[in-house]
Copies of this chain bind each other. A is one copy, B any other.
Amino acid sequence: MEAEKQREWGPKAWAHLSSVRNQSPLIQCITNFVSMDLTANTLLSAGASPAMLHSPNETPDFTPQVHALYINVGTLSDNWLPAMKLAAEIASKFKKPWVLDPVATGASGFRLQACLDLISLKPTVIRGNASEIIALANASVGFTKGVDSSHDSTDAVEAAKSLANSSGAVVAVSGAVDFVTDGNRVVGARNGVPMMQKITATGCAVTALIAAFVAIDPLQALEATASALAVFGVAGEIGMEMARGPASLRMHLIDSLHGLDQTTVISRVKITTS
């Protein structure tokens, strides 16, 4: 039964990646300064078309034309927050999928409130680490140690389900094992290597990849999210075979994502349905 389900996920992930490559969805990214380079290169390597536009002067013209929107609060400030909210509102109005990365949401009361406000604008997917998802579910000011996860992701399953149910979003939790839930089903994505956490912005980059995958399969956001997490993880595993440290892993990961073929994706993707 489990093996049978596993056999379905590899082709599904490959179908998602192939669609991204063929359709080259346009992804608007309003993301933090640290991650912009890696995020854009991740999207390009997967075959998507990134556009880093954030100004409220442009969003009314531009957001209706994109295939998905990605919002990341990593280097949040009060002059970027209105831009994020406006873009999220327009995306929702035009039925565009949009994805939220609530980086370090517990770092301040301002940031937590900003994330809660954004979640009220109906993201399609929320992806964070365990601390972030727990903080959002608790909706109280906690303390996140930087942008790293200080909880095991398994601790966060209940929090994720709760957040999915209250928000209507698919919720993904990154950690030693990644989980994705719509509040009912829980899917585990078991690819990736620990050293990816020693590269800044890999979490941000995979959230952007989720936006690209959801852009080409918006009605199956849970499946698209699991595929994106697994495909990124496979690229990391292959990259790790050539890496000497985090910086060469970063390079080989992107190269591998660009070069992934059908046989590799189908044989290596590990997604499990519990």
Contact = CB atoms under 8 A, between A and B. Distances in A.
A26 B247 CA distance: 21
B247 A259 contact: no
A256 interface: yes
A254 interface: yes
Contacts of A40: 34, 200-201
Interface string A228-247: 00000000000000011111
A177 interface: no
Interface in A68-85: 74-79
A113 B201 CA distance: 33
Contacts of A217: none
B259 A255 contact: no
Contacts of A141: 61
A154 interface: no
A248 interface: yes
A175 interface: no
Interface in A201-219: 201
A45 B246 contact: yes
A250 to B, nearest CB: 7
A186 interface: no
A76 B58 contact: yes
Nearest to A77: B55
A49 interface: yes
A45 B245 contact: yes
A252 interface: yes
A174 to B, nearest CB: 16
A41 interface: yes
Interface stretch (A10-18, A115-123, A124-132, A142-150): A142-150
B245 A107 contact: no
A248 B252 CA distance: 7
Nearest to A242: B244
A246 B41 contact: yes
24 contacts: A33-B33, A40-B201, A41-B199, A41-B200, A41-B247, A44-B198, A45-B198, A45-B246, A51-B107, A52-B75, A53-B75, A53-B76, A53-B104, A53-B108, A55-B77, A55-B78, A58-B111, A61-B108, A244-B259, A245-B256, A247-B254, A247-B258, A248-B251, A251-B251
Interface of A: 24, 26, 32-34, 36-38, 40-41, 44-45, 49-55, 57-58, 60-62, 65, 74-79, 104, 107-111, 141, 143, 145-148, 198-201, 243-248, 250-259
Q: Nearest 7 pairs between A and B by C-beta? A: A245-B255, A40-B200, A247-B254, A61-B108, A58-B108, A49-B146, A57-B110
